[in-house]
Structure 1
Amino acid sequence: MRQEIRIGIKPKFSQKYRSGYPLIEKEAIVNLGELNEEGILVKLVDEHQRFIAKGYYGRQNKGYGWVLTQKETEPIDQHFFLRKIEQALKARQAFYNDPETTAFRVFNGEGDGVGGVTIDYFDGYYLIQWYSEGIYTFKDDVIHGLQAAPHFKGIYEKKRFDSKGKYIEDDDFVTGTRAEFPLTVLENGVRFAINLNEGAMVGLFLDQRDVRNTIKNTYAQGKTVINMFSYTGAFSVCAALGGATKTTSVDVANRSLPKTIENFQLNAIDETTQAIIVEDVFKYFKYAVRKQLKFDMVILDPPSFARTKKHTFSVTKDYKNLLKEALEITEDQGIIVASTNNSSLSMGKFKSFIDTAFKESGASYRIEEEFSLPRDFRTIKEFEEGNYLKVVFVRKV
Structure 2
Amino acid sequence: MEQDIQLQVKPGFIKKYQNGFPLIEKAALVNPDVLKKEGVIVHLVDTHRAFLAKGYYGRQNKGYGWVLSQKQSETIDAAFFARKIQKALQLRQQFYHHPETTAFRVFNGEGDGIGGLTIDYFDGFYLLQWYSEGIYTFKEAVIQALKNAVDYRGIYEKKRFDSKGKYIDDDDFVTGERGEFPIVVKENGVKLAVHLNEGAMVGVFLDQRNVRQRIMTHYAKGKTVLNMFSYTGAFSIFAACGGALKTTSVDVANRSRPKTTENFHLNGIDEAQHDIIVEDVFQYFKYARKKQLSFDMVVVDPPSFAKTKKHTFSVGKDYKDLMKDTIALTKPDGTIVASTNYSALSMQKFKGIIAQAFRELNLNYQLLEVHTVPEDFRTIASFPEGNYLKVLFIKKLDK
Q: Write the distance in 2 (CA, Å) between the matches of 1:154 and 1:2.
A: 30
Q: Does the CA contact (< 8 Å) of 2:226 and 2:247 recur in 1? A: yes
Residue 309 (structure 2) aligns with = 309
Q: Deviations over 1:308-336 (max 9, x none)?
A: 00000000100000010011111000000
Q: Deviations over 1:119-161 (max 9, x none)?
A: 0000011100000000000001110111134441111000000
Superposed CA offset, 1:72-120 (max 9, x none): 0000000000000000000000000101111000000000000000000
Partner SS for 2:207: helix
In the alignment, what sits opposite 1:267?
A: 267
CA distance in 2, matches of 1:180, 1:149: 24
Q: Which amino acid aligns with 2:54?
A: K
- Tell me what 1:162 maps to: 162
In 2, distance between residues paired with 1:15 and 1:385? Answer: 17
Aligned to 1:136: 136
CA distance in 2, matches of 1:261, 1:4: 54
Distance in 2 (CA, whole Å) between partners of 1:278 and 1:226 is 13
Counterpart Cα distance in 1 of 2:10 and 2:154: 44
Q: 1:143 to 1:38 in 2, by over 3 A?
A: same
The residue type paired with residue 72 of structure 1 is: Q
Distance 1:10 1:331 in 2: 53
The TM-score, its normalising length taken from structure 1, stands at 0.99
C-alpha distance in structure 1 between counterparts of 2:239 and 2:150, whole Å: 32
Q: How does 1:138-217 map to 2 (within 5 A)?
A: 138-217=138-217
CA distance in 2, matches of 1:342, 1:66: 20
**Aligned equivalents of 1:11, 1:361: Cα separation in 2:** 47
Q: Is the 8 A contact 2:324 2:361 kept in 1?
A: yes
- SS class of match (1:196): coil
Give the conservation status (yes or no) of the 8 Å contact 2:58–2:65: yes
Asked if the contact 2:128–2:157 (Cα under 8 Å) also holds between the matched residues in 1, the reply is yes
- Per-residue deviation, 1:4: 2.7
Q: For residue 184 of structure 2, what is the amino acid of its counterpart?
A: T
Partners of 2:180 and 2:321 in 1: CA distance: 42
Secondary structure of 1:89's counterpart equals helix
**How far does residue 383 in structure 1 lie from its aligned partner after superposition?**
0.1
Deviations 1:321-354 (A, max 9, x none): 0010011111000000000000000000000010
The aligned residue for residue 50 of structure 1 is: 50
1:275-305: CA deviations, max 9, x gaps?
A: 0000000000111111111100000000000
Q: Which residue of 2 aligns with 1:235?
A: 235
Q: Give deviations 1:347-396, integer Å, cap 9, x for gaps.
A: 00000010000011111100000000000000000000000000000000
Aligned-pair CA distance for 1:166: 0.6
Q: Which runs of 5+ in 1 are unaligned?
A: none
| 2:5 corresponding residue in structure 1 | 5
Structure 2 gaps of 5+ residues are: none
Q: Distance in 1 between matches of 2:237 and 2:353?
A: 28
Deviates more, 1:150-159 or 1:386-395: 150-159
The residue aligned with 2:100 is: 100
Give deviations 1:212-258, integer Å, cap 9, x for gaps: 00000000000000000000000000000000000000000000000
Cα distance between partner residues in 2 of 1:245 and 1:153: 39
Q: Distance in 1 between matches of 2:10 and 2:392?
A: 38
Quick one: distance in 1 between partners of 2:56 and 2:195?
31
1:245 partnered with 2:273: no
> Is the CA contact 2:366–2:396 (under 8 Å) kept in the aligned structure 1?
yes
Identity of aligned residues (%): 67
Q: Deviations over 1:53-89 (max 9, x none)?
A: 0000000000000000000000000000000000000
Distance 2:164 2:51 in 1: 33
Letter in 2 for 1:82: A
2: CA distance, partners of 1:227 / 1:149: 39
Q: In structure 2, what is the Cα distance between the partners aligned to 1:150 and 1:54?
A: 28
Q: 1:147 is paired with a residue of what secondary structure? A: helix
Q: 1:246-395 maps to which residues of 2 (within 5 A)?
A: 246-395=246-395
Over 4 Å off, 4+ runs: none
Match of residue 21 from structure 1: 21
**Structure 1 residue 3, shift from structure 2 partner:** 2.9
Q: 3-state SS of the aligned residue for 1:21? A: coil
Q: 1:41 is matched with which residue?
A: 41
Deviation at 1:2, TM superposition (A): 3.9
Tell me: CA distance 1:124–1:149, structure 2 relative to 1, closer, same or farther (3 Å).
Answer: farther
| Alpha-carbon RMSD | 0.7
Question: Which whole-Å CA distance do the structure 2 matches of 1:207 and 1:140 have between them?
Answer: 27
User: 2:2, 2:75 within 8 Å by CA — same for their partners in 1?
Assistant: no
1:224 aligned residue: 224
Q: Give me the whole-angstrom Cα distance separating, in 2, the residues matched to 1:181 and 1:82.
A: 30
> What is the TM-score with the length of structure 2 in the denominator?
0.99
